[in-house]
Structure 1
Amino acid sequence: MGKYFGTDGFRGEANKNLTADHAYKIGRFLGWYYGELKKQSGDDTPARIVIGKDTRRSSYMFEYSLVGGLVASGADAYLLHVTTTPSVAYVARVDEFDCGIMISASHNPYYDNGIKLINGNGEKMDEDTISLVEAYLDGNLNVFGKDYAEIPYAHRDEIGCTVDYVSGRNRYVGYLISLGVYSFKGMKVGLDCANGSSWNIAKAVFDALGAKTYVINADPNGTNINTDAGSTHIEGLQKFVVEKGLDVGFAYDGDADRCLCVDEKGNVVDGDAILYVYGRYMKEREKLITNTVVTTVMSNFGLYKAFDELGIGYAKTAVGDKYVYEYMQKNGCRLGGEQSGHIIFSKYASTGDGILTSLKMMEVMMAKKKKMSQLTEDLHIYPQVLVNVKVKDKAVAQADKDVQEAVQKVADALGDTGRILVRESGTEPLIRVMVEAETEEICKNYVDDVVSIINKKEAAR
């Protein structure tokens, strides 16, 4: 990860560690850089960059700052307005933009915001380009064989323009509707839009496909995004589904690249269960190319046991949908995702897409004529206990001989009845110790054994 950009963009509290000035400079660089790339290939047309935003109050500030930087550098900025992250990726790809920008801090509280960069293929931006953006922010840019203390402004008729591009968002909505294989007529569906990006998209899609749609948390005011709502506060949707007697519910996060489900009984169907349901559906229809579902190291042990029983292979990547997608692209896999609800269907999208995920889960229900609870009844999710341990040096703590011996002892004791995972936090001075086993008591005892060794060794350092 870079100085400013992590695995999911440049994120922080608005006007504290992510400011309007940062946004302006990012716009300045991207507008100039992509224009230069075009010129060097013999194309004198301005760079075309598409921008979307979520419903946070600060998103407007960052949008205007980015646009100011882009047009000052000679690029044309196309505005999708309030929309989802996957819609920006879709439009960037199908309408052949040089890159896309999404203004969102995803599931974070309203006072945070973020800037996500998307390449012309609709994928998360490559590390080399992000490194150049960071170098410009720090005033030490070297690119195209030159050092730049500052990059040039555009002048006269080379100054860029701004284009209202709501038609691009509407085309994305049409694309989602086109993926509806079955009519949802007669189905009662609950949607929790988290007062975020999906508030004016999700219901339109489900209504068009014939569902009787019930919506909560679709009244954004700039400060209520994710507040007791959406995929990170799914208890509201659980209650809503049961009280209204709905067939199923879907909860999105702030920028709608995640989806979690609620079955008709009010039980949560998380990302692991979604991978199980759709992976099994693909396997049954011989559509699971490479016979591999891509997960992260945080997926539940029970998911792997279930895949073993079904004869489905799986891969494990580092935590982050970016790494899931990279593995899928490299190895030709069609399905992958995270426990948190980032699910990637690579045949249809280049990013996690919450609304698409809910449509695909509806497809399985309609095709198999089963309730959501019936689709997940053969999946046994193991209890999990996770403890974070503060350490002075993450690498030293994890490499400690006594710690490694303690971890191996737990792994040997669990055998094929569970697992232990010890990993470093990507953003904090923490070691995360996680155990999955048949009972929560077993998990806690084994976690305590390892944590006590780590704390003992830290105290001696």
Structure 2
Amino acid sequence: MARLFGTDGVRGLANKDITAELAMDLSVAVAHELGGQSVFGGARASAVVGRDPRASGEFLSSAVMAGLASAGVDVLDAGVLPTPAIAYLTQRMNAEMGAMLSASHNAMPDNGLKFFARGGHKLADEIEDRISDRVGDEWERPTGAAVGRIRPFPEGAEFYMSHLQQAVPGRLDGLRIVLDAAHGAASHVGPEVFRRAGATVDLIGGEPDGLNINDGYGSTHLGRLQEAVRLRGADMGVAFDGDADRCLAVDARGGQVDGDQIMAILAVSMHEGGRLRDDTLVATVMSNLGLLQAMEREGVRVVQTAVGDRYVLEEMRSHGYSLGGEQSGHVIMLDHGTTGDGVLTALSLAQRVVSSGRPLQELAAVMTRLPQVLVNVRGVDKDRVGSDAGVLDAVAAVEAELGSSGRVLLRKSGTEPLVRVMVEADAQERAQGYADRLAGVVSERLAL
């Protein structure tokens, strides 16, 4: 049986893969796994539930809350808020669990369920597996006063924005910024917290109607943001994804500043201020070689993990590191949050621009991105990519030719039936040529 949970919760086509029935059954299983004795006669467990604005979230969040309440869990309905807001509120309200309905940067027809344990932490693989095993189990249903209660929690938005203001207290007066909210979960709290900090905010992608989330806007569609920054003479721009757990930036000329560059800027800032614990940044194996080279020059050690913010977070929590993230713009600042937070990242980046008196373009130049090419190879047995002798020989040959001027990474996708071939080199043409060469070997050797 295929694993129910993917790399970031349960995700699929809403009302086909992600149904109301699944949402309810899964929420009951979560209540039983995370609520412990609270749902079996002990003190009442509680949960915080939120969603992004996509239309299917309306009925799916109702199903989640129904499942939780039917299992004896009291529910705080926070409504439309970013994923990191639900993680924070789970912690703040001392709730046993949190649930977020979102498919992140996916198109509107998709949706997904993410769950948080007490403290606002994402679930470990073994806990997700135990929850999956509980789905459909027979259980004794509470009745009468023992059923859970559901109440609106509109104050959650204010709690979250106050938290952000306290985390990044510096003023942003004089800064003009364009925010692209992807018609998503940060459409209100994103611009509001920037305005409170004193910035002049131009908002695009900030009118969600349930159908337009990520549609031509947001961190996966930077064109409109780049144009708006140039036309409006802004100092910088920031684009969130649908649930605002990550962001990418744009400098005053419209140049893209990706997650690696954002991490480099923040790492240097925190290093200079003595706030980068153990002078260490945690990144994934997909981060650009230019980040590693830049951090070495700046006296910052880089620890690399497997791809996925959960693995970055595990490494950070295990060793107490304060900063980590992914090239996609999913940045974790563990002193202020338990998960990636696009609004917090954007505030921190803007604060660095203001406090340094340097434009974003200059700050981002701390690292030089090496040309990076990624080729997805489909129709292959992805589980053999790390053991096939022909593939391993081809990789070794390319690595020998690149030497210290680049690197190669082959990995199987955690969410799709394909192998990802990534090559970095000192020139775009070399990176593309090597990537195509290796992709051909993978396609031939691992064909199904």
User: Paired residue for 1:54?
Assistant: 52
Q: Determine if contact 1:343/1:357 at 8 Å carries over to the other structure.
A: yes
1:167 to 1:320, Cα distance in 2 relative to 1, 3 A: same
User: Paired residue for 2:297?
Assistant: 309
Task: State the TM-score, normalized to the length of structure 1.
Answer: 0.94
1:34 to 1:443, Cα distance in 2 relative to 1, 3 A: closer
User: Paired residue for 1:162?
Assistant: 150
Give 1:400 deviation, angstroms.
Answer: 1.5
User: What's the secondary structure of 1:422's corresponding residue?
Assistant: strand
Counterparts of 1:424-435 in structure 2, within 5 Å, are 424-435=412-423
Q: Determine if contact 1:32/1:75 at 8 Å carries over to the other structure.
A: no
2:349 is aligned, of 358, 361, 384, to 361
- Range that drifts further, 345-354 or 277-286: 277-286
Residue 202 in structure 1 maps to residue 190 in structure 2? yes
Give 1:428 deviation, angstroms.
Answer: 2.6
Counterparts of 1:133-148 in structure 2, within 5 Å, are 133-137=131-135, 139=136
1:400 is aligned, of 388, 405, 413, to 388
- Range that drifts further, 444-453 or 317-326: 444-453
Query: Which residue identity is paired with 1:213?
Result: V
1:213 to 1:37, Cα distance in 2 relative to 1, 3 A: same
Residue 19 in structure 1 maps to residue 14 in structure 2? no
User: Paired residue for 2:42?
Assistant: 44
- Range that drifts further, 225-234 or 373-382: 373-382
User: Paired residue for 1:447?
Assistant: 435
Give 1:133 deviation, angstroms.
Answer: 2.1
User: Paired residue for 1:142?
Assistant: none
User: What's the secondary structure of 1:5's corresponding residue?
Assistant: coil
d(CA) in 1 for partners of 2:117 and 2:351?
A: 30
- Range that drifts further, 212-221 or 64-73: 64-73
d(CA) in 2 for partners of 1:333 and 1:411?
A: 31
2:279 is aligned, of 279, 286, 291, to 291
Counterparts of 1:35-114 in structure 2, within 5 Å, are 35-38=35-38, 44-114=42-112
User: Paired residue for 2:10?
Assistant: 10
Counterparts of 1:261-272 in structure 2, within 5 Å, are 261-272=249-260
Give 1:181 deviation, angstroms.
Answer: 3.0
Q: Determine if contact 1:29/1:151 at 8 Å carries over to the other structure.
A: no
2:172 is aligned, of 174, 181, 184, to 184
Residue 225 in structure 1 maps to residue 213 in structure 2? yes
Unaligned runs of 5+ in 2: none
Q: Determine if contact 1:391/1:397 at 8 Å carries over to the other structure.
A: no
Once the two structures are superposed, residues 300-331 of structure 1 have per-residue CA deviations (whole angstroms, 9 ceiling, x without a partner) of 11111111211211011111111100000111
Give 1:433 deviation, angstroms.
Answer: 1.2
Give 1:131 deviation, angstroms.
Answer: 1.6
d(CA) in 2 for partners of 1:175 and 1:384?
A: 37
Query: Which residue identity is paired with 2:370?
Result: Y
1:338 to 1:373, Cα distance in 2 relative to 1, 3 A: same
Give 1:385 deviation, angstroms.
Answer: 1.3
Once the two structures are superposed, residues 101-140 of structure 1 have per-residue CA deviations (whole angstroms, 9 ceiling, x without a partner) of 0000000011100000011111101223322221133x4x
Q: Determine if contact 1:398/1:431 at 8 Å carries over to the other structure.
A: no
User: What's the secondary structure of 1:8's corresponding residue?
Assistant: coil
User: Paired residue for 1:337?
Assistant: 325
Q: How many residue pairs are counted as aligned between the two chains?
A: 448
User: Paired residue for 1:244?
Assistant: 232
Q: Determine if contact 2:9/2:113 at 8 Å carries over to the other structure.
A: yes
Once the two structures are superposed, residues 17-52 of structure 1 have per-residue CA deviations (whole angstroms, 9 ceiling, x without a partner) of 110000111222233444443377xx8221101100
User: What's the secondary structure of 1:195's corresponding residue?
Assistant: coil
1:159 to 1:422, Cα distance in 2 relative to 1, 3 A: same
d(CA) in 1 for partners of 2:282 and 2:78?
A: 31
d(CA) in 2 for partners of 1:393 and 1:193?
A: 38
Residue 346 in structure 1 maps to residue 334 in structure 2? yes
d(CA) in 2 for partners of 1:420 and 1:162?
A: 51
d(CA) in 1 for partners of 2:446 and 2:113?
A: 37
1:257 to 1:458, Cα distance in 2 relative to 1, 3 A: closer
Task: State the TM-score, normalized to the length of structure 2.
Answer: 0.96
Residue 326 in structure 1 maps to residue 324 in structure 2? no
d(CA) in 1 for partners of 2:193 and 2:427?
A: 41
Percent of aligned pairs sharing the same letter: 38
Output the aligned Cα RMSD.
Answer: 1.7
d(CA) in 2 for partners of 1:429 and 1:76?
A: 39
Once the two structures are superposed, residues 345-370 of structure 1 have per-residue CA deviations (whole angstroms, 9 ceiling, x without a partner) of 11111100000001110121122111
Q: Determine if contact 1:2/1:131 at 8 Å carries over to the other structure.
A: no
User: What's the secondary structure of 1:21's corresponding residue?
Assistant: helix
1:456 to 1:29, Cα distance in 2 relative to 1, 3 A: closer
User: What's the secondary structure of 1:316's corresponding residue?
Assistant: strand
User: What's the secondary structure of 1:198's corresponding residue?
Assistant: coil
Give 1:189 deviation, angstroms.
Answer: 1.0
Q: Determine if contact 1:35/1:74 at 8 Å carries over to the other structure.
A: no
1:318 to 1:458, Cα distance in 2 relative to 1, 3 A: closer
Unaligned runs of 5+ in 1: 140-148
Give 1:179 deviation, angstroms.
Answer: 2.6
d(CA) in 1 for partners of 2:443 and 2:221?
A: 32
User: Paired residue for 1:145?
Assistant: none
